[in-house]
Amino acid sequence: MQEVDRILQLREELHRHNYRYYVLNAPVIGDQEFDTLMHELQMLESRHPEMFDPNSPSQRVGSDLSQEFRQVEHKYPMLSLSNTYNRDDVKDFYVRVSDGLGNEPFDICCELKYDGLSISIIYEHGALVRAVTRGDGVQGDDVTTNVRTIRSIPLKLDGDKSYPANFEVRGEVLMPWASFEKLNTQRREREEQLFANPRNAASGTLKSKNSAVVAERGLDAYFYYLLGEDLPSDSHYDNILSLNQWGFKTSEAMRCVSSLEEIYEFIDYWDRQRSTLPVATDGIVLKVNSLSQQARLGMTAKNPRWAIAYKFQAERACTRLNNIAFQVGRTGAVTPVAEMEPVLLAGTIVRRASLHNADIMNSLHLHRGDYVYVEKAGEIIPQIVGADETRRNAGGEPIPFISLCPECGTPLVRYEGEAASYCPNDVSCPPQIKGKIEHFISRDAMNIEFLGPETVDEYFNRNLIHDAADLYSLQVGQLCGADGSKLKSARKIVESIQKSRSVSFDRSLYALGIRFVGKVVAKSLARHFGSLDALQRAAREELLEVEGVGEIIAQSVISYFHDERNLMLIGKLEMAGVNFIMENHIEGSADGVLSGKSIVISGVFTRHSREEYKDIIESLGGRNLSSISSKTSFVLAGENMGPSKLQKARSLGIPVVSENEFLAMTDIS
């Protein structure tokens, strides 16, 4: 292939990977592979200046901008660091710094490179006023409301007041391993796509439109840079120590060194020890310690000359692929799973690896008996990244993705816009039926104790249950065993089933397993409609008024209640006494001051929380909406109201009421 053609091919490929990484948060290649492609493009473009294109991926920093957030310009550009995977580049960086400073002495601050989402936070007089993502380096997304939910980030500084009146602090928003594992466990139970690594999970969480989702996912943040006009020291290292004294979380691993040998020692140590950390790291950042020396070294168009990132190699193992099994989940999604010879990888024995879907599986061109390369995405999820074709057995057969359900033989379908293949037979496909029952009894749903997948499987195979409603017909005599040896456990199971009748409506709604309706959405729907009957009657427009409900969720809810089989199940559950009414649901006073009014809440408030204002509105006869339309009576606006909402309100002539005006209007203190 000619070099010009290769340039065009690389640009298209890198644009696609940039989009998947920064917008979809769903990369399909690793950082090292991406960097290799980028370096190849930069090399070829340097050979062919006539191919210059301002829109080439090499000419810009990747962006995580979202059109759903207000964009804010950075006072100081947030440029990315040049990065490397080898020691020679580290040595070259060290020599360049020495030459650039005229061989005067300098120190290097060695820091862990955390694998999360870069954030810039502005503080004025000790109070957090704005948090902005890196974006394209020039401007980023205003995620202040979401950042306020992260408990490790100080909202107001205490202490000796030694901090500047105005300053900017930069850091990384992370999802700790413990939070990541908990989140993926929940998503696995709901048969939602797993996050590949904590970085994607943190990014997806911080960009959530629902701050309640952010709050419950346990994000963390480490800070590594201080900017402003009146800093405590010329030493970057000392400034980070000051940050720690002011209440910011900083890395205890940071070390200031004065030789290349000490840098190598730091790299080697943390390459071995990084697996012991509570959060993901993917390398080491090296910074010239003196801020005045940083200023003298300056910047290139995209990177500071005074810093570089050394990235760790992903640990990889090679093992034999024995087979690919196909698993059917409760929604009918079929997942291919590679079964391999056991191999030690990143401290654990790996035998299986998800291949996710047909597209990913087919892109690997796997043959039975292949020797495959396995890596751990984010050091935790095993994934096959390729096969060693030089070791392929000449008689090895390609392994195709199946066309029939491995459990019931029904032809698989693939819905438009979805990567997964599905078995549509949710009536008699055993894994789907059992999976729905397991979801129904789970802790976050009906919380039926002493029942698990093995017990559900046993009862299903004994024809004691065919759906979730059959649980309420179980008798102790059916479960205690022929010799009565299981009498005690049988009584506990039946008691727990009977007890589940009284769980709250949001949990019984979640237990139904409506596609895309997770715990948070179920709670919003239950709160908004108050009963299953009202939810069933809701039109699309009414559903879209609920916070967190978009077109996909609304259509899923409508489709669920138009299926006769689902209505039959609901009927059986209602006859069994399952609660489908919101306890203490606030209907609102018919003659309340807000009776008949539909209100949208936007912004940050000081007197009451958003949830408290929702309760106040409902108690006074009003109705909470999540989006502005011609039916909106007024907008209750706090600080930092979204500009798109403000513009829409003005264009429709909808009144915008401040917090104090609202309290005066409702006579609430």
**Catalytic residue positions, numbered:** 113
Backbone φ, ψ for residue 512 (5° rounding): -65, -20
Provide the residue type at 269 as one letter: Y
User: Rounded to an integer, what distance in angstroms lies between the CA atom of residue 341 and that of residue 306?
Assistant: 46
Residue 30: alpha-carbon gap to chain centroid:
18
The CB density around residue 87, as the number of other CB atoms within 10 Å, is 14
- Long-range CB pairs of 353-360 (<8 Å, 24+ gap) are 353/382, 353/383, 353/384, 354/194, 354/381, 354/382, 354/383, 355/324, 355/384, 356/193, 356/419, 357/419, 357/420, 357/421, 358/401, 358/414, 358/419, 358/421, 359/419, 360/28, 360/419
Whole-angstrom CA distances from 642 to 78, 143, 283 are 23, 11, 36
Vertex 510 angle, CA 516 and 629, to 5°: 60
The per-residue b/e assignment along 107-134, b for 16 or more CB within 10 angstroms, e otherwise, is bbbbbbbbbbbbbbbbbeebebebbbbb
User: Rounded to an integer, what distance in angstroms lies between the CA atom of residue 452 and that of residue 449?
Assistant: 8
Token pair listed for 317: 């193992």
Provide the residue type at 504 as one letter: S
Q: Kindly state the helix (H) or strand (E) to which residue 32 belongs, with its residue range.
A: helix 31-47
172 contact partners, CB below 8 Å, separation of at least 6: 114, 115, 116, 117, 118, 119, 221, 222, 224
Whole-angstrom CA distances from 218 to 108, 445, 522 are 33, 21, 20
Token pair listed for 249: 């979380």
CA nearest 234: which of 294, 307, 160, 159? 294
Token pair listed for 669: 């203190």
241 contact partners, CB below 8 Å, separation of at least 6: 250
Cβ pair 538, 616 in contact under 8 A:
no
Backbone φ, ψ for residue 407 (5° rounding): -100, -40
